[in-house]
Amino acid sequence: MREQKPKERIRNFNEVALGLTEEEAVAEAKRCLECKRAACIGGCPVEIDIPAFIKLISEKDFQGALDKIREKNSLPAVCGRVCPQEDQCEKVCILAKKKEPINIGALERFAADWALEHKVAKYELRTPNSERRNARVAIIGSGPAGLTCAGELAKMGYGVTVFESLHSSGGVLVYGIPEFRLPKGIVESEVDYLRGLGVEIALNVLIGRTRTLDELRKAGFGAFFIGIGAGLPYFLGVEGEMLNGIYSANEFLTRVNLMKAYLFPEHDTPVKVGEKVGVIGAGNVAMDAARSARRLGADEVSIIYRRTEMEMPARIEEIERAKEEGIRFELLTNPTGFFGDADGWVREAECVRNRLGEPDSSLRRRPVPIAGSRFKMALDTVICAIGQGPNPLLPRTLPDLKLDEDGNIIVDKLGMTSIEGVFAGGDIVTGAATVIAAMGAGRRAAAAIDVYLTQQA
Amino acid sequence: MPYKILDKARLNSVTSKIVIEAPYIARNARPGQFVVIHIDEKGERIPLTINDSNPKDGAITIIFQGVGRTTCRLAALKKGGFVQDVLGPLGKAADFGRAGRVIFIAGGVGIAEILPVARYARANNNIVTAVTGARTKELLILEDEMRGASDRLFIVTDDGSRGARGVVTGPLKELLDKEAFDLAYCVGPDIMMKFACGLTKQYNLKTLVSLDANMVDATGMCATCRVKVGGEVKFTCVDGPEFDGHLIDWDEFMKRQKRFVALEKRAMEYHGHKCRMPG
Ligand SMILES: Cc1cc2nc3c(=O)[nH]c(=O)nc-3n(C[C@H](O)[C@H](O)[C@H](O)COP(=O)(O)OP(=O)(O)OC[C@H]3O[C@@H](n4cnc5c(N)ncnc54)[C@H](O)[C@@H]3O)c2cc1C
Ligand code: FES
């Protein structure tokens, strides 16, 4: 796929990957062997009929291809960009054994972008069933889980309102993942598509504070889906983490993406990035933070990770792009404290070097500190990207809601929580995972909510 | 759906009051809680204490000083105008109930923040004493309202143009020397809260403060508002804004409050210091 050159792109926030042209897409689609027992479908968490949509692209029926994808996936322009296809559909593509697998992600993106460019919006509404027409469903959180659940229910004819605490919908897609990887205009178009299906979106509503679940029940909502994500940032818990210049990745990325701090001072929200930035962690969140810091003018940006490249959880593509952009990798390294100047600004990190020991519960080899390896690293900005957990705000207002020991919501096979009629899915159930997994959960919950409401009627 | 400004008034040369239509917030707001206001797409999200809420009219009142870029832009809005986003009510509400003899200490625009809590204290049968202060008479706000909400009100100004001359810790010390109190509640500039807490600590008087920390989401998602309280990291937006003032690491907090000062100054310069305070 064509890309912006590293030298140019580190000076802007425009999308890095530029997509396929029509000719390229058709040519790529024609490589597909149209396997009878297509492994790729099994590799897709929402089981898109991949060979079928690829065949439609090869026949230049782009609208048909998109409709085929939309049967299973309501956010194709998003998933085409951010899904880890290399671990899913493309991994099991039969061609992967011999040469390159089909670039399924690029084709999915192509079909979705084609429709956006040609302003085609086709809403497939199932005729509302008269028994259900009055049933209304409240969706809490507008991340991929909530949006997917909303879209599916709207298609079935339910009245759906999505409640979102931020001033934009999309969850991590708008506040976390940067513009250069997922343009916000794309998320907006996908949300507009849902509005076209009749989904109502209520922004600035923090459920538990602005309105409560009980109030919504009294207001006539018959079922609920909680998709509030994993929004609570974790820190290392070492000395000095309160110093100025130390951000959680959530803060840093929210300032940059949601609040558009990269357009400061034209936009009002500031973000301060120094010359030497250390990003702790090596997942997608860490890569996004590091690459954003680079674009904001930092001279030297290092990923500081306690294991080796083999264990890094980020997508390979993002690691490669980070390297091209000059991000340094301090591997087998763990910060043990931060030290600052008299005004409270971070100046250096104290770190230890690790070696890899026996595998731990995550089946990755456990980092073991090497005795006497302590050293100092000069840093004036630190971004902590070691993970996020469940935000306890809403669960605390629901004493009957059962949580696991990490604070995630417990659901049954159908996605229902310990409170009747209240379903949940996405990162708030599984812990931080992927867009497609959250969508899958939203989809399954929609089906279960349909069954539940039908029984109630 | 933008939020309508139902009313707008200027309290003095730096302080304004706006009444915003926000029915759900008005219904659920409790004393001590705050909202986040985001004026428009280019604006910042800033926290502001809810000064009053009226569920019947679906309206909330906010009183603020035009000091930064966002508050200056807010001050320039007119009745009938709109702000794009208002989120709330946020943070924990005051819940000390019936404590007994409560002393309120507030400086500057902090007076607007203690007023709803003082009213709450009165409603819960506490005996309310209040000490309010400002630089000068013209900047002293809500005198009548504070008088109405307290059993006794002591006023100080730096220049003595209204009430006694001095700062709030003056009358506070005199009162603490003479009388016993069960609880103190203090809101004002960070340095004032630090000194007031230093003083009440000597008298072993439990003191609650409401912190005006820098925020972004205000839902517990970003941690920019973190503050160390009793050695533990707390998020001001969800664990606060009310904390035990004796447990706060004030020096660290005050350093953290300076994180974006230089950039804010740059933004003001970029926009040509356009801070005017029309009626
Ligand atoms: C920086 C970053 C990069 C990532 N990159 C990738 C990637 O490349 N590929 C991939 O597959 N995954 C990626 N992920 C993970 C993926 O984004 C998440 O797994 C996914 O977004 C989870 O979806 P969700 O719907 O469960 O929650 P979220 O997307 O977190 O959305 C939850 C929403 O609920 C709202 N909310 C919370 N509480 C309340 C409340 N009480 N009332 C109302 N609203 C509330 C929040 O504001 C938020 O908008 C990334 C995550 C991050 C942070
Ligand atoms: S303002 Fe973001 S967590 Fe408090």
Q: Choose the closest CB to B70 out of A206, A266, A268.
A: A268
Residue B274 lies inside a defined structural domain of this protein: no
Contact between B255 and A343 using a beta-carbon 8 Å cutoff: yes
Q: What is the DSSP string of B49-109?
A: E--EEETTTTEEEEEEE--SHHHHHHHT--TT-EESEEEEEESPPP---S-SEEEEEEETT
Q: Please give the Cα distance from B65 to B227 (Å, whole number).
A: 24
Peptide bond into B89 cis (omega under 30): yes
Kindly report the nearest CA distance between residue B203 and chain A, in angstroms.
Answer: 30
Bridge partners of A162, per DSSP, are A139, A201
pLDDT band at B268 (very low <50, low <70, confident <90, very high): confident
In this complex, the residue of A167, A241, A250 whose CB is nearest that of residue B85 is A167
Pair B60, B123 in one domain: no
Which pTM does this prediction carry? 0.95
A258, A45, A260: which is closest to A164 by C-alpha? A258
Considering the domain architecture, whether residues B29 and B74 belong to the same structural domain is answered as yes
From B90, B118, B153, give the residue that closes a domain. Answer: B90
Among B217, B227, B232, the residue to mutate for chain A (most A Cβ within 10 A): B217
Residues B194 and B153 placed together within one structural domain of the fold:
yes
Residues in A touching B42 (Cβ below 8 Å): 260, 263, 266-268
Q: Whose CA is nearest to atom 3 of ligand 2?
A: B220
Domain of residue B220, CATH code: 3.40.50.80
Residues B84 and B117 in one domain: no
Calpha distance A94→A54 (Å, rounded): 15
Say if B263 falls within a structural domain. no
Of B233, B256, B267, the CB nearest to A244: B256
Residues B84 and B141 both lie in one domain: no
Q: How far are the Cα atoms of A94, A180, A331, B235 from residue A280, in angstroms, in the given order?
A: 37, 21, 10, 21
Partner B contacted by A232 (CB < 8 A): yes
Which CATH number fits the domain that encloses residue B41? 2.40.30.10
Strand order of the sheet with strand B45-49? Answer: B45-49, B34-38, B85-90
Are B138 and B189 within one domain?
Answer: yes
Place of tokens 């002393």: B103
Complex ipTM value: 0.95
Residues B20 and B112 in one domain: no
CB atoms within 10 A of CB A175: 24
Specify if B75 maps to a domain: yes
Query: Same domain, yes or no, for B64 and B119?
Result: no
Both B53 and B157 in one domain: the answer is no
Chain B contact present for A410, CB below 8 A: no
pLDDT of residue A272: 96
Structural contact between residues B241 and B211, judged by C-beta atoms closer than 8 angstroms: yes
Cβ <8 Å between B267 and A205 = no
Same domain, B59 and B154: no
Binned at pLDDT 50, 70 and 90, residue A130 comes out as very low
How does residue A122 score in pLDDT terms, banded at 50, 70 and 90? Answer: low
Domains and their CATH numbers in chain A: 6-117 (1.10.1060.10), 130-231+390-456 (3.50.50.60), 233-388 (3.50.50.60)
- Is B277 contained in some domain? no
Of how many residues is chain B composed?
Answer: 279
Do B112 and B8 share a structural domain? no
Domain presence at residue B135:
yes
pLDDT of A287 strictly over 70: yes
Which of B43, B70, B90 finishes a domain? B90
Measured between alpha carbons, how far is A145 from A320 in angstroms, rounded to an integer? 28
pLDDT tens by residue, A339-394: 999 999 999 999 999 999 998 888 888 999 999 999 999 999 999 999 999 999 99
* Residue in A163, A188, A205, A269 to test binding to B, most B beta-carbons within 10 Å: A269
Domain count, chain B: 2
Dist CA A209 CA A228 (whole Å): 14
Tens digits of residue pLDDT in A413-454: 999 999 999 999 999 999 999 999 999 999 999 999 999 999
Ligand 1 pocket, mutate which of A284, A321, A394, A411 (most atoms under 8 A from CB) = A284
Q: Looking at the complex, does the CB of residue A359 fall below 8 Å from at least one CB of chain B?
A: no
Distance between first and last Cα of chain A: 51
Residue B41 belongs to domain spanning: 3-90
Considering the domain boundaries, does residue B95 fall inside one? no
Q: Which single residue is written with the structure tokens 């904001």? A: A296
For residue B16, report the phi and psi dihedrals to the nearest 5 degrees.
Answer: -125, 160
Write out pLDDT tens, residues A52-103: 999 999 999 999 999 999 988 989 999 999 999 988 999 999 998 888 899 9
Does residue B57 belong to any structural domain of this protein? yes
CB-based contact A264 B44, cutoff 8 Å? no
* Residues B186 and B250 occupy one common structural domain: yes
Q: Which helix (H) or strand (E) holds A161?
A: strand A159-163
In a domain? residue B117: yes
Query: Which amino acid is residue A210, in one-letter code?
Result: T
Q: Kindly report the length of chain A.
A: 457
Paired tokens of B203: 């008298």
> Nearest CA to CA, how far is B73 from chain A (Å)?
11
3-state secondary structure of B221: coil
